[in-house]
Amino acid sequence: MQKKGFLQGIYQKLTSPKLTVVIFLVLAAASVVGTLMPQGLSEAELQRHYGQRAIWFLTTFGLNDLYHAGWFRFLLLFLCANLVVCTIERLPKTLKVYRRREEQVDPGKLAKCSLNCQFISNLPQNETEAWLISIISEEFGILQRLDGVDHLAGVAENGRWSPLMVYVVHLGVLLVLCGSLVGSLFGFKGFMNILEGESTNEVMLEGSDRGLNLPFQVRCDKFDVSYYDNGMPREFRSDLTLIRDGKEVTKRVLRVNDPLTYDGITFYQASYGAILNDAEVELTDRESGAVRWVIIPFRKWVDIPGTRDRAQILRFEENFRHLGPAMVLLISQAGGEPSGSLILIEKDFHGNRVENYNVKVLHATRIPFTGLQVKRDPGVWLVWLGFALMLVGIGLTYYVGHRRLWLWAAADMPGKVGTRIIIAGRTNRNEISFERKFKRLCDRMQAELRQESGEGTP
Rounded to an integer, what distance in angstroms lies between the CA atom of residue 217 and that of residue 219?
A: 6
What pLDDT band is residue 220 in, cutting at 50, 70 and 90?
very high
Most confident of 39-43, 58-62, 305-309, 351-355: 305-309
Q: Could you tell me the sign of the dihedral formed by the alpha carbons of 280, 284, 290, 296, in that order?
A: negative
Low-confidence winner among 44-48, 137-141, 234-238, 442-446 (lowest mean pLDDT): 44-48
User: Mean of the pLDDT values across residues 6-18?
Assistant: 77
User: Mean of the pLDDT values across residues 27-53?
Assistant: 73
Residue 457 has pLDDT above 50, yes or no: no
What pLDDT band is residue 243 in, cutting at 50, 70 and 90?
very high
Residue 317 has pLDDT above 90, yes or no: no
**386-443: per-residue pLDDT in tens?**
889 988 988 888 888 888 999 988 887 665 667 889 999 998 888 888 899 999 999 9
**pLDDT for res 206:** 77
**pLDDT for res 148:** 67
Rounded to an integer, what distance in angstroms lies between the CA atom of residue 55 and that of residue 206?
A: 17
**Selection from 216, 217, 210 nearest residue 188 by Cα:** 210
**126-144: per-residue pLDDT in tens?**
888 888 989 998 888 888 8
Low-confidence winner among 66-75, 80-89, 329-338, 401-410 (lowest mean pLDDT): 66-75
Of residues 205 and 304, more confidence is placed in: 304
- Contact indicator for 342, 320 with CB cutoff of 8 Å: yes
**Selection from 340, 346, 348 nearest residue 366 by Cα:** 346
Of residues 6 and 139, more confidence is placed in: 139
| Strand order, beta sheet including 144-145 | 116-121, 419-427, 403-411, 151-158, 144-145
**pLDDT for res 449:** 83
Rounded to an integer, what distance in angstroms lies between the CA atom of residue 380 and that of residue 136?
A: 46
**pLDDT for res 303:** 93
Residue 247 has pLDDT above 60, yes or no: yes
Across the chain, mean pLDDT equals 84
Count the helix, strand and coil residues of the chain and give each as a percent rounded to the nearest 5. Answer: 40, 35, 25
What pLDDT band is residue 301 in, cutting at 50, 70 and 90?
very high
Start-to-end CA span in the chain (Å)? 71
Low-confidence winner among 89-98, 213-222, 418-427 (lowest mean pLDDT): 89-98
**338-388: per-residue pLDDT in tens?**
888 888 888 766 668 888 899 999 999 988 889 899 999 888 889 899 889
**pLDDT for res 210:** 76
Residue 233 has pLDDT above 90, yes or no: no
What pLDDT band is residue 116 in, cutting at 50, 70 and 90?
very high
Residue 1 has pLDDT above 70, yes or no: no
Q: How many residues does the chain have?
A: 458
Residue 80 has pLDDT above 70, yes or no: yes
Of residues 158 and 46, more confidence is placed in: 158
User: Mean of the pLDDT values across residues 85-102?
Assistant: 83
**pLDDT for res 282:** 92
Query: Which residues have a Cβ under 8 Å from the Cβ of 20 and sit 6 or more positions away?
Result: 79, 82, 83, 86
Of residues 200 and 124, more confidence is placed in: 200
**pLDDT for res 251:** 92
**pLDDT for res 454:** 58
According to DSSP, the residues that pair with 241 across neighbouring strands are: 219, 251
**13-37: per-residue pLDDT in tens?**
777 878 888 888 888 888 787 777 7
What are the chain's domains?
Answer: 2-98 (no CATH), 102-159+401-453 (3.30.310), 184-265+371-389 (no CATH), 275-366 (no CATH)
